[in-house]
Structure 1
Amino acid sequence: MSIPVVRPADQVAKKPVQKGTNAFIQVLIGPDEGAPNFILRKFTILPGGRIPAHKHPTIEHEQYVLSGGMHLGLGEEVREVTAGEAVLIPAGVAHWYENRGSQPVEFLCVIPKTKSYETEWLE
């Protein structure tokens, strides 16, 4: 049985996103906190920042935009998403993120906890 965890996000280190520009990730709750099934991450993309196109063959993502807005590539489609919107990215779907605005964008991303996490970078 897992032990309950309450953890302020501002006490979790921000790390640069691999291959990203002005993009940061925080693992808010994950294996280190005893989470048995899911990993809760928070992303921050500064103005002009981006995370290049990539996909995860076996991992789906559920995301919720906390603040700001961004352009999100989903396969061949480009969507503008803003605070209050939720996104499902099925496993195997190519996706990318760009903050073309003047304010940072912050979003939560939940993924299943798996033995491996494969990322295929497409650019």
Structure 2
Amino acid sequence: MDEGLLPPLHRAGLEARPVERGEKAFIQVLIGPEDGAPHFILRKFTLLPGGRIPKHKHPTIEHEQYVLSGRMKVLLGDEVREVQAGQAVFIPPETPHAYLNEGEEAVEFLCIIPKTSAYATEWLE
């Protein structure tokens, strides 16, 4: 297969940016619009020990997450769940959610969002 046709599943040296309003939280876009993905964006998040992403919601989109490593607490609406490597999380539109790594190892998770111009984040704290 022509290597030029393969999307970069994990680009070497891909820069991790700090997550807006997060603490010790970083994001990398693994597959996005620049790769020709017509319907979704695949992102990888890293939460260092003590890291958090404050409560927020996305009014018009759902998203799915898969935990690659570590363990974290996820606020989903009024519920707090502990998730770990190998588990998936579904977040419906309008659902307030937040992330907290109280452990001693980094947490990494994939997050898939639909590619849409209506994507917006409403910060709740």
One fold, TM greater than 0.5? yes
Unaligned 5+ segments in structure 1 are: none
TM-score (norm: length of structure 2): 0.93
The equivalent of 2:118 in structure 1 is 116
1:63 is displaced (CA, Å) by 0.4
Identical amino acids, percent of aligned pairs = 64
Deviates more, 1:63-72 or 1:111-120: 111-120
The equivalent of 1:82 in structure 2 is 84
The equivalent of 1:69 in structure 2 is 71
Counterpart among 85, 96, 99 of residue 98 in structure 2: 96
1:9 is displaced (CA, Å) by 4.3
The equivalent of 1:38 in structure 2 is 40
The equivalent of 1:27 in structure 2 is 29
> Letter of the aligned partner of 1:69 in structure 2?
R
State the SS of the aligned residue for 1:32.
Answer: helix
Unaligned 5+ segments in structure 2 are: none
State the SS of the aligned residue for 1:11.
Answer: coil
TM-score (norm: length of structure 1): 0.94
Alpha-carbon RMSD across the aligned residues, in angstroms, is 1.0
1:117 is displaced (CA, Å) by 1.6
> Letter of the aligned partner of 2:104 in structure 1?
S
> Letter of the aligned partner of 2:83 in structure 1?
V
Counterpart among 54, 57, 61 of residue 55 in structure 1: 57
1:71 is displaced (CA, Å) by 0.4
Q: Structure 2 CA distance, aligned partners of 1:13 and 1:7?
A: 14
